[in-house]
Amino acid sequence: MRKTFKYRLFTTRLQSEALDGQLSEACRLYNAALQERREAYRSNKKSLNYYDQANQLKEIRAAGDLALANFSCCQDILRRVDKTYKAFFLRMKRHQKAGFPRFKSRHRFDSVTFPSYGDGVKLTGNILRVQGVGEVEVKLHRPVAGKIKTVTVKRECAKWYACFSVECEAQPLPILNNAIGIDVGLDSFATLSNGETIPNPRWYRKAQAKLRRAQRRVARRKKGSRRRKAITLLQKIHARIFRLRNEYQHRQSFRLVRDFGMIVVEDLNVKGLAAGMLSKSVQDAGWSSFIAKISYKAENAGRQLIAVNPAGTSQTCICGATVRKSLSDREHVCVECGLIAPRDVVSAQVILQRARISPSSDNVAAVSACVA
Ligand SMILES: [Zn+2]
């Protein structure tokens, strides 16, 4: 299984400049590849694929038009463009709000990936050799456990990091025969089928207010260094929220995987959920990244994660009857079987029930799609 290890890089000023240079070249390539696809589509309704673009790389580099040092990095950028295009067409197909792939500003383009370790990047002791940059010191606060596959060099709030994606052995936990269903909460982060709720953490609201203030400050300021400063501050707040949320999700997903043999969630890829009323709260809570965390931890521990069809989970009773509820109805009251319970708990129970009824082979595919 794959794991990621992230480390701070101690760069000299020259190295930071070299890294900045590599990123802006990568950004230029990204935008050029996007431009080419747009034009090909506009002028003769032809869509380019990854290979159409990758085949031109050698020539471009030979002509000295691209100063991104490592060839595989260039290929990786083109693969990113390909991925955003595929995601765009998938959204169109699902009749979701599509949003055409956008050009990136060099300030927002903040990482390059070396797709095969040893090609352009190598770690010896605490020194990382990066092609086009040199030997950079890494703060190895814990050892890289496993076989390094890819390395991503990243800029975050004007600091540099290296992310190592590592292949390592799974460590199964003792087998458990219990199961739990999880529902995306409206008021809380999530609700479990055993009646428990995972609350939204307290820092969340506070951080949101701070974020809005910082956003207003950026909007007020005109172009220039004062605006740049405000933007850096805004990025810092974003990074902090990301860090806190990530840590919270790691703690919660760890607990679920430790305590339950089978974990059942709604399949977010089913059309309608993301586009519907829930979309805002789903995005806010970072639901898909939470499921991704459960997924790899479950794989590591030998637990089962199942994604079920989300259609109507909030409008059904565990007895099978339809119980219509609007968003403001917090209580589930079934006239058929007499069940009275909080709505989210019933939804979580319906989700759990679906995993037990429908064949699991279909669901395995759904989970892998869910994580991708
Ligand atoms: Zn009922």
pLDDT in 10s for each residue of the chain, 372 residues: 888 899 999 999 999 999 999 999 999 999 999 999 989 888 887 788 999 999 999 888 888 888 888 999 999 999 999 999 888 888 888 877 777 889 999 888 999 999 999 999 999 999 999 999 999 999 999 999 889 999 999 998 889 999 999 998 888 999 999 999 998 766 788 999 999 999 888 787 788 889 899 999 999 998 888 898 898 889 889 888 888 888 999 999 999 999 999 999 988 765 454 444 454 455 555 778 889 899 989 998 999 999 998 888 889 999 999 999 887 888 999 999 999 999 999 999 999 999 987 644 444 444 443 443
Ligand 1 centre distance from Cα of residue 370 (Å) = 30
Domains in the chain, start-ordered, CATH in brackets?
2-167 (no CATH), 179-371 (3.30.420)
Residues contacting residue 177 through CB under 8 Å, at least 6 positions apart? 261
Ligand 1 centre distance from Cα of residue 346 (Å) = 10
Ligand 1 centre distance from Cα of residue 337 (Å) = 4
Ligand 1 centre distance from Cα of residue 225 (Å) = 62
Ligand 1 centre distance from Cα of residue 353 (Å) = 13
Ligand 1 centre distance from Cα of residue 261 (Å) = 27
Ligand 1 centre distance from Cα of residue 320 (Å) = 6
Q: What is the dihedral of CA 323, 324, 328, 329, to 10 degrees?
A: -30
Residues contacting residue 282 through CB under 8 Å, at least 6 positions apart? 184, 268, 273, 274, 288
Ligand 1 centre distance from Cα of residue 277 (Å) = 25
